[in-house]
Structure 1
Amino acid sequence: MAKQNYLMKFLWVKFLIILALAAGLYMVIQLTKPKPQSTVVYLVRHAEKITGDNAGRDPQLSPAGKARAKTLAAMLANKHINKIFSSDYARTRGTAAPLAKELGLDIQIYDPRDLPALATLIKSKPETYLVVGHSNTIPQTVLALGGDDSPPIEEASEYDRLYIVKIDKNGHVQSQLQRYGKRYKSASE
């Protein structure tokens, strides 16, 4: 019986030592894991929406918009996005949804009437973000983040702009404008 008690105590001590070592190793890994040194923000206007008399006040994405949202998800799936922000409209949430599903992320709602608050939140934590908004808010969000000004988005038909704003650890900002999905053609083309 004494031999069994000794064996049980020995196994318990061994278990506790292994547990403590595992916890310590986990903490070392977490502390030495590289932290993002910069913030990267991808910003897009929502994809094409249903138009016409039946569209209502909060239209869904059209078939072309759903295709563009899938294109966006495929394009950004490997960009290490940590957070997705969208205004609280069906067309913006619908644009963000394929990527959110692919990455297993929730879509966080922001107030498009308070872009400085969104910019402050994004600047406060170096991560990689997607922001989905509107023709009148996305260029303003780029500016609020410190990015370059750009010509207004053509309300009726321009859905292919992808802004990328990078903020390094010293607060220096670089921004660029790309296009994605089916090409936009201006009225003058």
Structure 2
Amino acid sequence: MRLPHRFRLSLGLLLVSLAGCSGTPVRDISAPLTFVVVRHAEKATDDPEDPRLSAAGEARAALLAERLRDAPLVAVYATEFRRTRQTAQPTAEAHALPLTAYYARGPAAEIAAQWKQAHRSGTVLVVGHSNTVPDLVAALCGCATTAMDETEYDRMSIVHFDADGRATLDVQRYGAPTGP
């Protein structure tokens, strides 16, 4: 049975207006591709294998979410460890995005290639560890990076890709200063 034109038009307009009310944030697919890579925030001493964040770490995780509040976030990645997930969670929740796990000990070049293939635009947050963040950043930007001290929690590496796919690295700090 074919519906009258007027009814089809009204139904179409209704569906379009309902889609706009879904509560799902609109992703800016025209935004250039940017990776924001940070180390997990300060960890507690509750578990030597998989510690939680300390109070200072929870505060830094909240600052990270605030810092990225207006970013056109399209994905959030954290390793399988509790401290990275807890660092990324406030940002993921603020953007209504799932938290996607990646293997901390995976080859940085392979992981970076997968992320660059999966994302063409928008901002991607990656939370890693002091011994993985520099390699991930280097693999993403194809540039030299500096090692990260075990006491450094405030480094934010931002890898921007231009329209031609050329990467630039901008290293910033966020939250209370730490490290050497």
TM-score of the superposition, structure 1-length normalised?
0.79
Instruction: Confirm or deny that 1:114 pairs with 2:121.
Output: no
Match 2:55 to one of 54, 58, 63: 63
Q: Structure 1 residues 128, 62: closer, same or farther in 2, change over 3 A?
A: same
Q: % of aligned pairs identical? A: 37
SS at match of 2:141: coil
The residue aligned with 2:116 is 123
- Is 2:61 aligned against 1:73? no
Q: Which SS does the other structure have where 1:66 is aligned?
A: helix
Aligned-CA RMSD value: 2.5
CA contact 2:149–2:179 (8 Å) conserved in 1: no
Unaligned runs of 5+ in 1: 1-8, 25-32
> 1:154 aligned to 2:146?
no
What does residue 48 of structure 1 align with? Answer: 42
Give me the whole-angstrom Cα distance separating, in 2, the residues matched to 1:81 and 1:64: 24
Alignment of 1:1-189 (within 5 A): 12-19=4-11, 35-36=29-30, 38-51=32-45, 54-112=46-104, 113-124=106-117, 125-126=119-120, 127-155=122-150, 157-186=151-180
Amino acid aligned to 2:125: L
CA offsets 1:7-36 (integer angstroms, 9 cap, x no match): xx9x84420244467789xxxxxxxx9743
Structure with the higher fraction of residues in helix conformation? 1
- For the pair shown, which has the larger CA radius of gyration, 1 or 2? 1
Contact 1:147/1:175 (8 A) holds in 2 = no
Shift in alpha-carbon separation, 1:80–1:16, aligned structure 2, 3 A: same
| Alignment size in residue pairs | 167
TM-score by length of 2: 0.83
